Amino acid sequence: MIALLSTLRRQMPYYTPSVSVKERIVDSRVDAFCDNLAVVNAWSNQGGRDPSLNGVLRKIFTLSKTVNMDLRLVYVSSSRNPADRESRKLRLSDAMLSPMKWKFVEERFGPHTSDLMALDSNAMNDTNVERRLRYLDSLVGSTSYNKKKLSLEKEFEKFLFGGEPVKCLKTASPLDVRRFMVMKDSRGKTQVHDLTCEFLGKLGIHSCQCPLRLAAGTVQSMLGQLKAIFESNGRGSEWNEITKIGNPVCSPEVDKYLHAIQFEQSKSHVVQKQAKPLFLDKLRSISVHIDDLLDRANDLGLCISQEVKLLPNGDGFLFSHTVGKTLGKGKVNEFSILRFDDTLICPVKALERYVEGARALGVDLRFGYLFRTLSKNRKDVTDNPVSSNAMYDRLRKYLKKLDIYDGETPHGIRGACAITLALSGGSTSDVMQHIGWSSSSSYQRYSRLSSMVGRGSVSSIMANTGVSESNICRSIFESYCEVNKLSSAFQ
């Protein structure tokens, strides 16, 4: 039995099953000890991140079904693995070049990004190059989009591995993509009402029997991520309908599926959900509440201290954002904020108080992230940027505490700002530049009051807009723009 396990363990990475091995494992249970945790986890979870490993495991799974074998992988550390003991000893064959010779090879034929030596102890590479590559890879991999894409890739691979026949990203078809999307569609949070349903055209989830689906925008975004996943796995960016080769997301079948989802939700009057605008009157209430609590919250957006410049005579600040959801690749969003007469909600005064408080606590905010998080024990200020989730949680906490919460999110500040500026005389181009929109369609969508837009300086309008004017703007918005709150014309 020990010899059998040893044979299986050696053959698992390369899988070249022989007839003799098949005969010895028919109708039996096999416990295989493996020192590769990735292999053990991939087998237990029915797939992993490595497509080549998934291919090997898929062949082993097919073999186990053929011979009626119950294979159970058990992890064992390398130090306790007798089969690896000899391979981890240093020999003359494991020798390495002298630093001078390696430098000559690196300068003449490099740079080398990897060394295929057997052991870590004698692997030779340019540590500066490797460090730089790891840093650049981490920058790309740390973005919210890439984290979501990686999670979706794992879920899709698990779906393919559990199908019949077992597939991987290299062999997935348009039908597999559509089946996966139908499976995801059943976990949606958008209610698609029948034409005879009394809740047709109303937001939210109601007590009717109408099904919950993924919103059409979410489906489109998810398909875009799947397309990128297939591209990164060598499937290209096009689909050949004749040879059935290429990126399956680009096929007519998947495109037809997306159009069907959009049409279904259009018939059911499903409107794209928009952030609830958060106007100045509620922001003022929060400011009063924070002042009463003496709470110096760090719940603000990603901003680098070096991006903020002081305007002449201390009239305000100039922000110059270079990184964000719609920024990058040389695009910069610059805007200024001026002092408000109402010092309680004046952003300039609030920022000055924030910096003064941080300085009193011994926190240097001259460099790095301007708004940072607290440590887990909530006693120390870290160098990490504040997250959008933290902002949302704190905003919701304050609004609920004051009993004025109506579904607002930090994203709703953009919409409220656009509406307020529109009603206060700001031009379309000025508002778009101030908020950072590149297309007029974004402005039309968020403001919903384009016919009332006049002209004027954005920063001046913001500085001269008081709570009373904000109340008027909110009243107009709720009276004419919140369709969900309007009464039915036919009772």
- CATH code where residue 295 lies: 1.10.443.10
Place of tokens 């349903």: 197
> For residue 335, is it within any domain?
yes
User: Are 256 and 284 found together in one domain?
Assistant: no
Tell which phi-psi region holds residue 178, choosing left (phi > 0), alpha (psi between -120 and 50) or beta.
alpha
Nearest partner of 180 among 224, 226, 235, judged by Cα: 226
CB 140 within 8 A of CB 134: no
Question: Which amino acid, residue 132?
Answer: R
Token pair listed for 411: 């994203």
Q: Is 187 a member of any domain? A: yes
- Percent helix, strand and coil across the chain, each to the nearest 5: 50, 10, 40
Cis, peptide link before residue 211, omega less than 30° from 0: no
Residue 122 lies in a domain: no
Helix extents (H) in 233-344: 252-267, 280-293
The reply to whether 340 and 480 lie within a common domain is yes
Q: Assess if residue 272 is contained within a domain.
A: no
Give the pLDDT of the chain (491 residues) as one tens digit per residue: 333 344 444 444 434 444 456 777 888 888 888 888 888 888 888 888 788 788 888 888 888 888 888 888 888 887 777 666 666 666 655 667 777 777 777 777 766 666 655 455 666 666 666 667 767 777 777 777 788 888 999 999 999 988 888 888 999 999 999 999 999 988 888 888 888 888 887 777 888 889 999 988 899 999 999 999 999 988 998 999 898 899 999 999 999 999 999 998 888 887 666 666 767 677 777 777 666 554 333 334 457 777 788 888 788 888 776 655 554 555 666 767 788 777 777 888 888 888 888 888 788 888 888 888 888 877 788 888 877 778 888 888 888 888 888 878 777 777 777 777 777 777 777 777 767 677 777 777 766 654 443 434 444 545 555 555 556 566 655 554 554 555 443 33
Residue 105 identity (one-letter amino acid): V
Contact 82, 37 (CB under 8 A): no
Question: In this structure, are 361 and 468 located in the same domain?
Answer: yes
Beta bridge partners of 213: 190
Q: Is the pTM of this model over 0.85?
A: no
Query: Interhelix angle for 174-185 vs 252-267, to 10°?
Result: 30
Q: Are residues 165 and 45 in the same domain?
A: no
DSSP E strand boundaries for 263-375: 308-310, 316-321, 333-338, 372-374
Residues 185, 51, single domain; the answer is no
| Domain C-terminal end among 40, 64, 84 | 84
> Is residue 180 a part of any domain in this protein?
yes
Instruction: Report whether 9 contacts 83 (CB < 8 A).
Output: yes
Spatial contact of 374 and 298, defined as CB atoms under 8 Å apart: yes
Closest CA to 235 of 171, 177, 287, 176: 171
What six digits make up the tokens of 238?
């096009």
Strands 212-213 and 190-191: antiparallel
User: Could you tell me the maximum CA-CA distance found in the chain, to the nearest angstrom?
Assistant: 91
Do residues 259 and 297 both lie within one domain? no
Residue at a domain's end among 238, 267, 296:
267
162 assigned to some structural domain: yes
Type of residue found at 386 = V
pLDDT given for residue 250 in this prediction: 94
C-alpha to C-alpha distance for 328 and 383, rounded to whole angstroms: 22
Q: Is residue 289 located within the same domain as residue 329?
A: yes
**Is residue 52 domain-resident?**
yes
Are 216 and 245 in a shared domain?
yes
* 190 Cα distance to chain centroid: 20
Structural domains of the chain, count: 3
- Dihedral sign computed on CA atoms, order 405, 410, 415, 417: positive
Contact status, residue 160 vs residue 166, Cβ threshold 8 Å: yes
Residues 315 and 460 in one domain: yes
Nearest to 91 by CA among 124, 122, 125: 122
Instruction: Write out the residue range of the structural domain in which residue 44 sits.
Output: 2-84
Q: In this predicted structure, what is the pLDDT of residue 301?
A: 47
Residue 344: phi, psi to the nearest 5? -65, -35
Q: End of a domain among 243, 267, 291?
A: 267
Q: Smallest Cα–Cα separation from 177: which of 257, 283, 235, 245?
A: 257
Shared domain check, 161 and 13: no
410: cis peptide before it, omega within 30°? no
Phi, psi of 423 (to 5 degrees): -75, -20
Same domain, yes or no: 217 and 171: yes
| Beta-bridge mates of residue 29 | 70
What are the E-state strand segments in 331-435? 333-338, 372-374, 381-385
- Residues 104-142 as b or e (16 or more Cβ within 10 Å = b): eebeeeeeeeeeeeeeeeeeebbeeeeeeeeeeeeeeee
| The Cα angle at residue 343 between residues 470 and 419, in degrees rounded to 5 | 20
Answer yes or no: do 433 and 408 share one domain: yes
**Residue 126 counted as domain residue:** no
Rounded to a whole number of angstroms, the distance between the first and last alpha carbons of the chain is 79
